[in-house]
Amino acid sequence: MVDPSPARHVTADHADEYGLRLILRRPATAAGIGAIQLRMGHTIFGEVSFSLCGTDRRAILVHIEVEEKHRRRGVGRVLVAAAVARAPRYDWTMIPIGHDPISVAFWARIGAVGPASPHPCSHQIEQEVVPVEARWTKWW
């Protein structure tokens, strides 16, 4: 089992070839999109992308991708837990998942981290974290 707590996240330059690791990819700018990868050596099992704004304490889960051959093994659950663990007291929202049956089934199993209607702060809007059509559309 992989510990999703932020203390266990390492950057790519500190990752080794052995063992399953959560690799933190910091955003280029504040409130930009960062990511956490689950990988062993150079093999990437999956990645979650998210934006955190420390000023307004808002977080948006932007995207999660798990390699097809590693699905249904808990990779997605660990990635989401790792992202949420980086900002446990933030107001989380998500980019709408759409109608992809794989995504719908995944979120039905683990539960959403917040409303599927992104609520970006002005800093996240400046960084274009959320597409304009997702920002101003009401999702049912």
Render pLDDT for 75-115 as a digit per residue (tens, 0 to 9). Answer: 999 999 999 999 999 999 998 877 888 888 899 898 888 88
Tell me the domain boundaries of the chain. Answer: 6-135
Correct CATH for 6-135 of 3.40.250.10, 2.60.120.10, 3.40.50.300, 3.40.630.30: 3.40.630.30
What average pLDDT does range 53-57 have in this prediction?
94
Q: Are 130 and 124 contacting, i.e. CB atoms less than 8 angstroms apart?
A: yes
The Cα 107–Cα 140 span in angstroms is 16
Distances in Å between the alpha carbon of 18 and those of 14, 42, 76, 126? 12, 10, 21, 39
Please tell me the predicted confidence (pLDDT) of residue 79: 95
The Cα 36–Cα 77 span in angstroms is 12
The Cα 31–Cα 51 span in angstroms is 6
**134, two tokens:** 């997702």
What average pLDDT does range 123-135 have in this prediction?
73
Phi-psi region of 74 (alpha: psi -120 to 50; beta: other; left: phi over 0): left
Q: Which is it for the CA torsion 18, 23, 25, 26, positive or negative?
A: negative
Q: Is the pTM of this model over 0.75?
A: yes
